[in-house]
A and B are shown apart, each in its own frame.
Chain A
Amino acid sequence: MTQEVRLLNLAFIGFGHVGIEFARLLISRCTSARPWVWSAV
């Protein structure tokens, strides 16, 4: 249940406070363990 759902290739310019927090948000939301996140997409 932790397999990543690969939707798009992403790239960042900048990896400060916001970039790191966004990366954490992606990791915590973009997994099949959280299907409810993507059910509305």
Chain B
Amino acid sequence: MTGIATLDHGMAIDHAGLPLQKVIRAGKSVPYLERFHNGPACASCTDFVRQCGADVLFEMSVLDLTGEPAATYIREALGAGLHVATVNKGPVATHFRQLTRLARLRGVRFLYEGTVMDGTPVFNLVRQTLPATRILSIHGILNSTTNYILSQMEQGGSFESALAYVQDQGIAEADPALDLDGWDAAMKLSILIQAMMGGTTKPDEIRRQGISEETGRLVRAAVRRERRIRLVARAYRHGGQVIGKVEPEELEMFDPLASMRGLSNILVINTDTMRELAILENNPSVRQTAFALFSDLVTLLRRPQA
């Protein structure tokens, strides 16, 4: 590990290797990374990317709808010949074509397994195990925060307490409106469309409706009819384009999506070879997100070029 850069806790570079155990133990006193710095001075994160002496950059900054400034850091790293792995949906959804093309040109890997369903193999599964397959449509539950809130409300819990729990656990986005308004799911759907269906649909082109306290009324009414409300993301082909939408749907109890409770996610892929495949992730935690980066590291060690 030769460099760590953060927004709130400074940055550190040591080309001989940072003492990772000590850095973890150092806690979050502000700014705590400077004490480990033993390298060139950096005025900015882009400067950090140029100076850190790394072969691989792991980009884990917070989600922003514009994809910036993360897209700039990734562009800088790929341009400098670094492999990049990210769990940040913003830059992948908004700059997919540009960043994947740049990685190809520079002969490095740009990997993003953790942007959808954490470390659950989604992109790896399709890339490695579904040769010559056309994905016709996809649908699923892609946002843990809203699924937790909806399943708590159907058991009589309140919107506020469910939201407070996911915020406390570090599951909700830094700005929870990104989850509640459906932006997080739309970002993930956009990445799936671009990476697996060859589409160009950006997050702001996805029809989007989120959930609010008012959704509780719909949830309770659905429960009385033995049905379930879930925030469903769908993408399908239509007239040479891929259409995406994210909205609450009332589902029959036998629908696999209806059985997804708590933080669980599911993705159903409809293909021209294997018909329908479902991938599900049961109550993930931050460890599963971290595993996505580990999985990307192993992927690029196995195949350093795309």
Contacts and interface: CB of A to CB of B under 8 A. Distances in A.
A17 B181 CA distance: 23
Contacts of B302: 41
Given A15-B6, A21-B286, A25-B290, A9 B59 contact: no
Interface size class on chain B is 35 or more
Contact of B87 (A18, A27, A29): A18
A11 interface: yes
B257 to A, nearest CB: 26
B5 interface: yes
A33 interface: no
A12 B4 CA distance: 5
B268 to A, nearest CB: 26
A15 B1 CA distance: 13
Interface of A: 7-27, 29, 40-41
Contacts of B155: none
A17 B52 contact: no
A18 B290 contact: yes
Contact of A17 (B33, B58, B170): B170
B20 A13 contact: no
Lowest 4 A-B CB distances belong to which pairs?
Answer: A14-B60, A11-B54, A21-B290, A11-B3
A9 B52 CA distance: 9
A29 B82 CA distance: 22
Interface string B268-306: 000000000000000000110111011001100110000
Contacts of A18: 60, 87, 286, 289-290, 293
Nearest to B83: A8
B48 A13 contact: yes
A14 to B, nearest CB: 3
A23 B21 CA distance: 8
Given A12-B5, A14-B58, A16-B6, 18 more contacts: A8-B54, A9-B55, A10-B1, A10-B297, A11-B1, A11-B3, A11-B58, A12-B4, A13-B45, A13-B58, A13-B61, A14-B6, A15-B9, A19-B4, A23-B1, A23-B23, A25-B294, A40-B298
